[in-house]
Amino acid sequence: MAKPIYEEGHKTVLDDILLGLPGVRAGKMFGFPAYYVNDKLFACVYGSGVGVKLPEDFAAALLKRPQIVSFQPMGKPKMKEWVQINRKRSEDYRNDMDIFQVSLEFVGNLAKAKETQK
């Protein structure tokens, strides 16, 4: 099986900005670098971009920005709560910290809500 292709520089920057945040851990998603909060995926490096899970309305608004598209890993259908941010320079992901923070809080709260329902 071929090794997944992704931008190593993107992973390096995301490791730097995300792994120091409370509750965040690194992992894999289908062999790609991924970031989890409360054991739930909230972001991943995929191909030439970064996929991020967000509230549906926030994700829809972001799709109007340049360099942000629907996240469709492995040719899957568009997912309403996911976007892919495509930056040419890995360092530019540092400017998206507000998006990552929204994702972290959103997914973290979803995981907590699911736990309380058990």
Q: Mind listing the pLDDT tens digit for each residue in 21-46?
A: 999 999 999 999 999 999 999 999 99
Q: Does residue 116 surpass a pLDDT of 70?
A: no
Question: 49, 89 in Cβ contact below 8 A?
Answer: no
pTM for the whole thing? Answer: 0.92
Q: Which domain holds residue 35?
A: 8-112
Which has the minimum average pLDDT: 15-24, 47-56, 70-79, 107-116? 107-116
Domain total of the chain? 1
Q: Report the Cα 47 to chain-centroid distance in Å.
A: 12
Is 32 within a domain?
yes
Is 2 within a domain?
no
DSSP label at residue 99: H
Is 118 within a domain?
no
Buried b (16+ CB within 10 A) or exposed e, 61-93: ebeeeeebeebeeeeeeeeebbbbbbbeebeeb
Task: Find the CATH number of the domain harbouring 87.
Answer: 3.90.1150.30
